[in-house]
C-alpha cells in the first residue's frame, strides 16, 4: 500500500470519523485514500474554517478533531485556526501536504518550512520523512493533542513520501491516558486553608468540562457552599440559577463580580486557563490562591499560589470534598451581587427600542433556547455582551473562544457543533465584521443539510474596536465598512432569511427557526451606544 493509505488506516484506528479541509495538489494521494475510506472528508470553503470546525468537534467530543490543507497558502491559512485551537486548548490534529523531499533544500514553488512555522502554535509537530514511521507519528499526534492540557498537533506529509509504496505496517493502537492525583499531604494542607477562610471564592474555568468533572465540581460546591465565578470559557460549570453562582467574569472595569473578588480572602481556581483572563484584572489584592488543575500554575505576580493541586480533577475534587467539613458560610453578599447582575437583563425584557439593544437581543435568545441548546459566540463587541449576560445551565452550551480569540469562529464552529449534536438547536452569534470572514461556510452548512441558525448583530463596523477607541480617545477611527444585501446573500446560499425591522420581531423569528428544520439567517441591527453606557456604569460600581 501507499504511505497515504497507511496514514488513513492510522486515522481510522484512532476512531476518526471526519476530516475537515480543502484538497490540493500535494495531498491528492491522501484524498484518494479518503475516497476509499469510511472517514468522511468535509470540504470547506477556507482552510481556517476547517481548523475552527475541527477544534469545536474536538472540544465537544473530547477526541481530537482533524483538519487538512495543502502546502503554502493552504497551510498558512490553516495556521490561524490551529493557533486558535491551541490557545483555547481544544484537541486538534492538523495535516498539511508538503513539497517533496527532493526540493526542500532550495527555493521552490509554494514551499515553506512548515515544521518551524507551526512550532510556536502547536504542542508538537513532525514531518514524515520515512514511510515506516507513519504509525508512530500519527499515534503521537493524537496522544499529545488529547493529553491535558488539550491542544493542537501537526503532521507534515511530503507528496513524494505520501505516494511511495510501503510494506504492510500495522497502525498503533490508542492507549488510555493516565490519571494522576495530588499528594495526600497537599490535599490536607489545602483543606486547612479552605476551612480557615471566611470568604473563599471559586473561579471556574474550561478545564472542568474538559476533564468531564462537572458532577464532581457541583458536589464540591454544594458541600462547601463556596460561591462560584465563571470565566468566559467556564460558563455552565454550575447553573446560573444556583444561588451560589456569581455568573461570569472577564469584561474590563469594576463589574459587580469584582466585588466578589474583593470580598474574598482565598480564591480557588479550578480548571482555569490564564490565557483568557489575566490575574491582574481580578486579583488586585493579591489574595492567596489554591490552584486546582491538571498542570502547575503559570508564574504571575498577581497569582500567588499557596498550593498547587495537580492531577485528575474528578479525583482531586472528590478527595477535597471528602476531607472538608460541610460549611454553612455567610454568603449573604452573594445574593446582593446576583440580584444586581440579573436585574440588568430583566429590565430589558420588554425593551422596544430599535435598532435593538444588546441586552434585549440576549433576553430574547435566552427565552427561546432550551437548557441544552448551544450558542457559539464569535469575536467582537457581541462577545462581551454574550459572555456577561447570556446565562447558562450546563457547560459547553455557550462556546466562546477567549484564548487567541480569532474572528470568524462562530459559523464554522456551529457546523461542527450541529454534526456532534444534531438534536439540539445550534446558534452562531456573529457581528457583521466577523461573519464576513467565514460567511462562505453557509454553503457548507446547506450542502451538509445542517439547519444551523445564524444570528447576526449588524452595526456596519468593528464595534469592539470602536468601543476601545472611545474609551481611550473619545473618538473612533477607521472602523466603519459597507455591507451587502444580506437577504440576497444568505438566500443565495439556501438559507431562510429574516431581516429584523422592529424589536418585537426577533423573538418570534428565533422561535420559528428553533422549531424548524431549515438553516436560518437572522439579520438584526444592534444599538452599540450601549457599549459606552456599560463602560460608564462599570466605572460607577462601588464595592
In tens digits, the chain (543 residues) has pLDDT values of 999 999 999 999 999 999 999 999 999 999 999 999 999 999 999 999 999 999 999 999 999 999 999 999 999 999 999 999 999 999 999 999 997 788 878 778 778 899 999 999 999 999 999 999 999 999 999 999 999 999 999 999 999 999 999 987 789 999 887 778 888 899 999 999 999 999 999 999 999 999 999 999 999 999 999 999 999 999 999 999 999 999 998 776 667 777 778 889 999 999 999 888 899 988 988 999 999 999 998 899 999 999 999 999 999 999 999 999 877 777 888 888 888 888 877 889 999 999 999 999 999 999 999 999 999 999 999 999 999 999 999 999 999 999 999 999 999 999 999 999 999 999 999 999 999 999 999 999 999 999 999 999 999 999 999 999 998 998 999 999 999 999 999 999 999 999 999 999 999 999 999 999 999 999 999 999 988 888 777 665 444
Whole-number Å distance between alpha carbons of 202 and 248: 12
Query: Across-strand partners of 377?
Result: 400, 429
Give the three-state DSSP class for 144.
Answer: helix
Is position 404 within any domain? yes
Question: In whole angstroms, what is the distance from residue 349 CA to residue 369 CA?
Answer: 15
Residue 195 sits in the same domain as residue 157: no
Indicate if 358 and 491 belong to the same structural domain: yes
Asked if 327 and 362 sit in the same domain, the reply is no
Q: Is residue 473 part of a domain?
A: yes
* 164/143 Cα distance (integer angstroms): 26
Residues 315 and 353 in one domain: no
Angle between helices 47-61 and 410-420 (to 10 degrees): 40
Distance CA 324, CA 195 (A): 7
- Same domain for 32 and 149, yes or no, is yes
| Same domain (yes/no): 534, 421 | yes
To 10 degrees, what angle do helices 529-540 and 463-473 make?
A: 50
The reply to whether 107 falls in a domain is yes
**Final residue of a structural domain among 163, 195, 226:** 163
CA nearest to 114, candidates 77, 160, 87: 77
Nearest-angstrom CA–CA distance, 433 and 380? 8
376 lies in the same domain as 518? yes
Q: What is the pTM of this model?
A: 0.95
Would you list the DSSP string of 458-493?
Answer: E-SB-HHHHHHHHHHHSS--S-B-----HHHHHHHT
Cell of 112: 515553506
- The vertex-399 CA angle with 64 and 336, nearest 5°, equals 140
Q: What CATH code is carried by the domain that includes residue 459?
A: 3.40.50.970
Question: Where does residue 173 rank: exposed (0-12), middle (13-18), buried (19+ CB within 10 A)?
Answer: exposed
106, 130, 163: which is the final residue of a domain?
163
Phi, psi of 185 (to 5 degrees): -65, -40
- The reply to whether 191 falls in a domain is yes
User: Do residue 322 and residue 389 come from a single domain?
Assistant: no
Domain count, the chain: 3
Question: How far is 250 from 254, CA to CA, in rounded Å?
Answer: 11
How far, in Å, CA of 366 to CA of 406, rounded? 24
Q: How far apart are CA 363 and CA 344, in angstroms?
A: 10
From CA 456, how far away is CA 454, in angstroms rounded?
6
Residues 310 and 364 in one domain: no
What's the length of the chain?
A: 543
Q: Is 331 exposed, middle or buried (0-12, 13-18, 19+ CB in 10 A)?
A: middle
For residue 104, the number of C-alpha atoms closer than 13 Å in the C-beta half-sphere is 19
pLDDT of residue 539: 60
Residue entry with cell 426577533: 506
Task: Kindly report whether the peptide bond that precedes residue 135 is cis, defined as omega within 30 degrees of 0.
Answer: no
> Do 488 and 524 have their domain in common?
yes
pLDDT at 537: 72
According to DSSP, residue 394 is labeled S
Examine the fold and report which residue of 333, 360, 378 is the final residue of a domain before the chain moves on: 333
Q: Which CATH number do you get for residue 239? A: 3.40.50.1220
Identify the domain containing residue 288 by its residue range.
184-333
Shared-domain flag, residues 113 and 219: no
Question: 311 and 279 share a domain?
Answer: yes
Is residue 426 assigned to a domain? Answer: yes
For residue 492, what is its C-alpha cell? 443565495
In a domain, 108, yes or no: yes
The verdict on residue 171 lying in a domain is: no
Q: Is residue 415 part of a domain?
A: yes
Amino acid at each position: 500500500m501507499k504511505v497515504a493509505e497507511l496514514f488513513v488506516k492510522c486515522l481510522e484506528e484512532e476512531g476518526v470519523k471526519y476530516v475537515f479541509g480543502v484538497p490540493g495538489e500535494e495531498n491528492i494521494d491522501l484524498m484518494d485514500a479518503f475516497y476509499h475510506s469510511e472517514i468522511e472528508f468535509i470540504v470547506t470553503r477556507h482552510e481556517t474554517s476547517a481548523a475552527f470546525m475541527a477544534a469545536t468537534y474536538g472540544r465537544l467530543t473530547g477526541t481530537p478533531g482533524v483538519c487538512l490543507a495543502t502546502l503554502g497558502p493552504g497551510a498558512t491559512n490553516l495556521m490561524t485556526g490551529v493557533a486558535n485551537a491551541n490557545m483555547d486548548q481544544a484537541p486538534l490534529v492538523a495535516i498539511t501536504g508538503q513539497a517533496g523531499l527532493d526540493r526542500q533544500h532550495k527555493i521552490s514553488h509554494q514551499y515553506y518550512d512548515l515544521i518551524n512555522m507551526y512550532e510556536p502554535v502547536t504542542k508538537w509537530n513532525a514531518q514524515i520523512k520515512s514511510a515506516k514511521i507513519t504509525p508512530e507519528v500519527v499515534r503521537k499526534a493524537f496522544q499529545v493533542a488529547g493529553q491535558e492540557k488539550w491542544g493542537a498537533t501537526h503532521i507534515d506529509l511530503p507528496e513524494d513520501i505520501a505516494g511511495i509504496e510501503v510494506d504492510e505496517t500495522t497502525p498503533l493502537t490508542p492507549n488510555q491516558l493516565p490519571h494522576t492525583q495530588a499528594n495526600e499531604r497537599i490535599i490536607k494542607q489545602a483543606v486547612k486553608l479552605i476551612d480557615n477562610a471566611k470568604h473563599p471564592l471559586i473561579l471556574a474555568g474550561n478545564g472542568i468540562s474538559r476533564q468531564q468533572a462537572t458532577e464532581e465540581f457541583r458536589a464540591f460546591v454544594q458541600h462547601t457552599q463556596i460561591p462560584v465565578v465563571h470565566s468566559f470559557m467556564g460558563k455552565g460549570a454550575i447553573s446560573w440559577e444556583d444561588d451560589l453562582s456569581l455568573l461570569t467574569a472577564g469584561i474590563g472595569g469594576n463589574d459587580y463580580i469584582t466585588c466578589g473578588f474583593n470580598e474574598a480572602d482565598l480564591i480557588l481556581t479550578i480548571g482555569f486557563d490564564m490565557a483568557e483572563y489575566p490575574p491582574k484584572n481580578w486579583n488586585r489584592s493579591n489574595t492567596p490562591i489554591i490552584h486546582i488543575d491538571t498542570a502547575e500554575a503559570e508564574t504571575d505576580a498577581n497569582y500567588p499560589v499557596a498550593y498547587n493541586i495537580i492531577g485528575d480533577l474528578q479525583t482531586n475534587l472528590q478527595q477535597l470534598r471528602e476531607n472538608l467539613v460541610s460549611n454553612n458560610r455567610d454568603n449573604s453578599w452573594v445574593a446582593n451581587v446576583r440580584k444586581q447582575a440579573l436585574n440588568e437583563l430583566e429590565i430589558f425584557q420588554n425593551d422596544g427600542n430599535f435598532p435593538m439593544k444588546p441586552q434585549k437581543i440576549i433576553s430574547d435568545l435566552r427565552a427561546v433556547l432550551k437548557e441544552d441548546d448551544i450558542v457559539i459566540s464569535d469575536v467582537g463587541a457581541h462577545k462581551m455582551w454574550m459572555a456577561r449576560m447570556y446565562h447558562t445551565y450546563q457547560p459547553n452550551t455557550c462556546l466562546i473562544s477567549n484564548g487567541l480569540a480569532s474572528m470568524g469562529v462562530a459559523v464554522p464552529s456551529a457546523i461542527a457543533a450541529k454534526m456532534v449534536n444534531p438534536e439540539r438547536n445550534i446558534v452562531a452569534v456573529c457581528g457583521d465584521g466577523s461573519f464576513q470572514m467565514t460567511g462562505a461556510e453557509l454553503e457548507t452548512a446547506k450542502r451538509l443539510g445542517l439547519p444551523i441558525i445564524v444570528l447576526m448583530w449588524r452595526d456596519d463596523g468593528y464595534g469592539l474596536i470602536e468601543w476601545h477607541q472611545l474609551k481611550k480617545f473619545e473618538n473612533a477611527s477607521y472602523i466603519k465598512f459597507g455591507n451587502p444585501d444580506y437577504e440576497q446573500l444568505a438566500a443565495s446560499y439556501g438559507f431562510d432569511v429574516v431581516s429584523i425591522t422592529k424589536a418585537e420581531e426577533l423573538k418570534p423569528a428565533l422561535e420559528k427557526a428553533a422549531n424548524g428544520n431549515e438553516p436560518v439567517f437572522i439579520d438584526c441591527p444592534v444599538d452599540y451606544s450601549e457599549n459606552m453606557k456599560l463602560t460608564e456604569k462599570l466605572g460607577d460600581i462601588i464595592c
